[in-house]
Amino acid sequence: MLPNLPKNPLENISNPPENIPNPMLSLEKGLSPLMKFQQAFIESCFTPDRLPPGAQDPFAETRESMRKPPNGTNPVVLVHGTWANRYNTWKTLAPELKNAGFSVSALNYGEKGNLPKVCKGYTDIRESAKELAKFVDEVLQKTGASKVDMIGHSQGGGILPRWYLKYEGGKEKVDKLIGLAPSNHGLTATGLGTLANMIATLLRIQALANEAVILSAGIACLQQSLESTENLNPKLDDGGDTFGGVKYIALSTWRDEVVTPWQNGHLKGADGHTFTNLTLQEYQGFKYDLTEHNGMPNHPVSIEVVKRALVGKPVDPQNLIVQRPPFMLTP
């Protein structure tokens, strides 16, 4: 059972405000969070293994060239989600963190299949957790740190890092786990189909794949599906979602059409454990924000929550006011 959570304020509203911002639109300055993902996805079709700006790959660095975390901080590891990659997920957030002084690393994982190389994170989550373990160990070895802070999106902020923490020794090596639209408690077939359709639409631009090919490739989607016998959550959730030595944040959006129902992104932690469940629309000025699953890593609220959480500052809506971009209107 998940804790009681607030309902989507748009579900039963009798007089919705006019001009609710559409996340597909780009107005005045910059692109919307979703359009930033779409743009980065298309860019990464041509160079699918590229790093996002501001991030490093510890396997390509020496101890001397690897950026060391400033005092009081941990190296940051960025983990993308299903059918995505490190560039198209973290093109916006990685340079924000690097410019704020953090040591940032980003990995690709889960691509032992027949999909175009732009798609990753679709193979067995248990094997991907082993890849994540090796990556974290390399970051720690190259930086000299004892723990990392992990930021993930979708699978990369939910079921994958939690599997790593529980079964691959990660709970001793992770200080903070911050999930953006995380898939902590599975998703419905409708959610998987929606994600597959979105990715297929972007791939069709390059004539690379279609929805049927995407859905049939790899087992990670079934391992997150509530309707599948391959679902890993019964085993993963047994005994609770959290560990006492790790600080957790789960930031979800009421408009998530992939992690469905959206409440499945939130955690149920044990008494005495440090975990915070947040929703994008609870922040001042964003009550009617329509940003959905793939836009979350690029959203200004996500960016500010991450930057503050990494240095131990409050991130709850009562203590964090985020400047609203021009394309997001206040009701």
Q: Which residue ranges form the domains of the chain, and what is each CATH number?
A: 33-309 (3.40.50.1820)
Dihedral over Cα of 156, 161, 163, 164: its sign: positive
- Rounded CA gap, 218 and 209, in Å? 14
The structure tokens listed for 87 are 């560039």
- Rounded CA gap, 160 and 125, in Å? 6
Q: Along the 331 residues of the chain, how does pLDDT read in single tens digits?
A: 444 444 443 344 334 344 444 443 333 346 889 889 999 999 999 999 999 999 999 999 999 999 999 999 999 999 999 999 999 999 999 999 999 999 999 999 999 877 888 999 999 999 999 999 999 999 999 999 999 999 999 999 999 999 999 999 999 999 999 999 999 999 887 777 787 777 777 776 555 555 555 556 678 988 998 888 899 999 999 999 999 999 999 999 999 999 999 999 999 988 899 999 999 999 998 998 999 999 999 999 999 999 999 999 999 999 999 987 765 543 3
pLDDT of the residue at 192: 73
| 76 Rama class: left (phi>0) / alpha (psi -120 to 50) / beta | beta
Dihedral over Cα of 28, 254, 189, 156: its sign: positive
Task: Give the other-Cβ count within 10 Å of 308's Cβ.
Answer: 14
Q: What is the DSSP string of 200-246?
A: HHHHHHTT---HHHHHHS-SHHHHHBTT-TT--HHHHHTT-S--TT-
Q: What is the DSSP string of 262-325?
A: GGGGS--PPTT-EEEEEEGGGSTT-TT----GGGGGG-HHHHHHHHHHTTT---STTT---PPP
pLDDT of the residue at 204: 67
pLDDT of the residue at 326: 66
pLDDT of the residue at 197: 77
pLDDT of the residue at 88: 97
Task: Give the other-Cβ count within 10 Å of 261's Cβ.
Answer: 16
Task: Give the other-Cβ count within 10 Å of 231's Cβ.
Answer: 18
Radius of gyration of the chain (CA): 18
Cβ distance 277 to 203 under 8 Å?
A: no
Give how far the C-alpha of residue 35 lies from the chain's centroid of Cα atoms, to the nearest Å: 16
**Global pTM?**
0.88
pLDDT of the residue at 67: 97
In sequence order, which residues have a C-beta less than 8 Å from that of residue 241 and are 6 or more positions away? 162, 184, 248, 267, 268, 269, 275
User: Could you tell me which residues are beta bridge partners of residue 106?
Assistant: 78
pLDDT of the residue at 116: 84
Classified as helix, coil or strand, 92 is coil
Task: Say which DSSP state 11 is in.
Answer: S
- Rounded CA gap, 167 and 125, in Å? 12
Q: Are β-strands 247-252 and 148-153 bridged in parallel, bridged antiparallel, or unpaired?
A: unpaired
